[in-house]
Amino acid sequence: MDIPALTLFLILALAFANGANDVSKSIATLVGGGITDYRTAILWGSLWTTVGAGASAFLTGAMIHTFSHGLIHPGVIVPPTMALAVLLGSMAWVLFASRTGLPVSTTHALTGSIVGTGLTAFGGEGLVWSAIGQKIVLPLLLSPLLAFTASFVLHSLVRLLAARWEGACLCVMPASRALVAIDAHGGTRTLFQSSRFGQPVMAVPAQCDQAGLQGLVVGLDTIHWISSGLTSFARGTNDAPKIVAMLLLGSAVTSWSSIAMQVLAYAGVAAAMGWGSYLGGARVTELLAEKVTRMNHTEGLSANLTTSSLVLLSGTLGLPVSTTHVSSSAIIGIGLLKGLACVRWTTVRDMLLAWIVTLPVSALLSMLAFLLLHRMSGA
């Protein structure tokens, strides 16, 4: 059995499953807020997920250490089949959840699989329980509460901004080398003008055309698109290192043999996450966009800003929060601001149940996979 090759294949398979389940967390607000259709939103999220996953090679080294070495005591001999079992257990659960349209956490699945396989391979004494509690369990438990709180605060600010900007926009005018504000009544005001800008290269959008201007419009919808892309980028930077770290778990690949290998690993994971997002992201996106609470574009923008800010911050600090928990909690929080009746509690119940069972189910699946691989290897 070629363990390194099989490990790499399963890493790409898990990245694909992650993309199928997690792209929804950044683009559901675009669809739910009526900004665009499913296919365009999924394409947008897939693109920025891929970019974020690639960029994580330079941004999140602490995450790699946590998931590859930080949860197992130094000196403990890790079987080479452990990474395979972890990948099989987590991938099976995330793929199942994606097929059934349930948003689950890849971070939770990996954590459950590492703990389950570790208990089977070398007992509880081989695991660093303090690190599991402080670096994984605590951030995962606190992230929904932080998302609730942040969504309440951010939505109040975004709503005030939207009330002033509704129907208004900014127009970037290369031909006139100017930045012009257009109010809701079509009135214009020059904010900036220079003689140093280049030649015009942009088409004429409808809003500028109605005001007699030629340039690129930037309004609240544009900001929503940007926030969605930023959330996808943040998700990619948060999840890719956890998956890549499985290459360094155990003795399949003990360390990076070269920079080229590291680049190829991240590039492969990024591509697999992107393809998974594009090909399999519709089911979970539909649930979050339509079956939790109805959103307008202001509410969707608030949820995306909450998710992107929390996930980016945690990623740079090496804290593996769940994008699933943050995004879903932000969307639920936005619904609660409109009243209890505005949230579909049956959907929330199903989501919470999926969150609760992710740890034990992925642990059980990885245990079974480890025992099977152990027997097949003849060890």
Task: Return the residue matching tokens 């929904």.
Answer: 144
Q: What is the pLDDT of residue 201?
A: 32
Confidence band for 202, pLDDT divided at 50, 70 and 90: very low
pLDDT, tens digit, 9 for 90 and up, residues 292-351: 777 777 777 788 888 888 877 776 666 667 777 788 888 888 888 788 887 888 888 888
Cα angle vertex 176, ends 170, 181, to 5°? Answer: 20
Closest CA to 245 of 32, 76, 25, 7: 7
Cα angle vertex 92, ends 27, 374, to 5°? Answer: 150
Cα angle vertex 303, ends 184, 286, to 5°? Answer: 100
The answer to whether the pTM exceeds 0.85 is: no
**Rounded Cα gap, residues 29 and 154, in angstroms:** 15
pLDDT, tens digit, 9 for 90 and up, residues 245-302: 887 775 445 555 667 777 788 899 999 999 999 998 888 888 777 777 777 777 777 8
pLDDT, tens digit, 9 for 90 and up, residues 31-82: 877 788 889 999 999 999 999 998 887 765 666 666 666 677 777 777 778 8
pLDDT, tens digit, 9 for 90 and up, residues 154-176: 887 877 777 766 666 777 766 66
**Rounded Cα gap, residues 233 and 223, in angstroms:** 15
List of residues 6+ apart from 296 with CB closer than 8 A: 33, 34
Q: What is the pLDDT of residue 258?
A: 65
